[in-house]
Amino acid sequence: MALLGILLLANCALAPKDDPEALAEFQKLNDPIEYTNRGIFSFNQALDKIIIKPVTGVYRTIAPAFVREAIHNFLQNLRTPVILANDLLQGAGGRASDTIVRFFINSTWGLLGFMDPATNMGFEQHDEDFGQTLAVWGIGEGPFLMLPLLGPSNPRDFVGKVIDYFVDPINWWASNSDNRDIPILRTLVSGIDTRDNLWDALEDIEKNSIDPYASVRSLYRQRRNDHIRNGAEAINSTSSDLAHVVEVAGPDTKD
């Protein structure tokens, strides 16, 4: 967080106060350190091109779609404690009940979560994290950030990721046992799974977007706002403005 603060102070662009239209656009983009963010985005693109995309391409080649879907379902099932905690922190009792029912159905009939019979029974998958909880509590997102490896974010969501890490019981167990490699392996597999789910979206941005960075920024903010509203219609013009693009980074397109 100290590093983020230094970046903000060192690279913060001055708002165009004498031009109302330019000021409105500046505030809408919410990207005062755009120059630094674009540099990090270029680094992430290079890393993706050299390592992440080729590894994911091999994964997509050797693993049929149904196997990749099963792995995705299993990873989502492992996140249940984090999702449940945030359901409760947001006061969403109904969604918390669905989360509990989904976990028991998918962990039993769904063979440890590799299958998702709960969805067919009417208990739809949803995702929650502490970044969304902070938003529900009224905490502002702060400026847009592009993080190395992690991709698009903001201070609120970055703090949320840290809290979710410590809330996750798998990480508790690993840190108090001789299984410290488990969270690392899980992170690597989750990263490949996320890149797999984003494959078509990123290909489309790469081929068709004039400014991939701006597309990713808009896409991320639209998706996060949609998740915070739990898919409900925007209730103000600011949210509507953010909803003009279609997921990047982040948890994945199936959430």
Question: For 198-233, what is each residue's pLDDT tens digit?
Answer: 999 999 999 999 999 999 999 999 999 999 998 775
At residue 194 the predicted structure's pLDDT band, cuts being 50, 70 and 90, is very high
Q: Quick one: pLDDT at residue 180?
A: 83
Question: For 33-55, what is each residue's pLDDT tens digit?
Answer: 999 999 999 999 999 999 999 99
Average pLDDT, the chain: 86
Q: Quick one: pLDDT at residue 2?
A: 53
Checking if the pLDDT of 16 tops 90, the result is no
Q: Quick one: pLDDT at residue 9?
A: 46
Token representation of residue 206: 């790469």
Q: How far apart are CA 229 and CA 22, in angstroms?
A: 28
Q: What angle do the packed helices 2-11 and 34-47 form, to 10 degrees? A: 120
Average pLDDT (127-140) is 96
Q: Quick one: pLDDT at residue 27?
A: 62
Q: Quick one: pLDDT at residue 244?
A: 35
Ranking 30-39, 40-49, 59-68, 245-254 by mean pLDDT, the lowest is: 245-254
Q: Quick one: pLDDT at residue 130?
A: 97
Average pLDDT (228-254) is 47
Q: Quick one: pLDDT at residue 179?
A: 86
Checking if the pLDDT of 249 tops 70, the result is no
Q: Quick one: pLDDT at residue 241?
A: 37
Question: Percentage of the chain surpassing pLDDT 90?
Answer: 76
Q: Quick one: pLDDT at residue 185?
A: 95
At residue 29 the predicted structure's pLDDT band, cuts being 50, 70 and 90, is confident
Task: Give me the residues paired with residue 151 across strands.
Answer: 147
At residue 251 the predicted structure's pLDDT band, cuts being 50, 70 and 90, is very low
Q: Quick one: pLDDT at residue 209?
A: 95
Provide the 3-class DSSP secondary structure of residue 147: strand
CB 186 within 8 A of CB 78: yes
Average pLDDT (152-163) is 97
Closest CA to 60 of 52, 149, 137: 52
Please give the model's pTM, rounded to 2 decimal places: 0.82
Helix (H) or strand (E) holding 151: strand 151-153
Q: Quick one: pLDDT at residue 79?
A: 97
At residue 250 the predicted structure's pLDDT band, cuts being 50, 70 and 90, is very low
Q: What angle do the packed helices 155-167 and 80-89 form, to 10 degrees? A: 120
How many CB atoms neighbour CB 156 within 10 A? 19
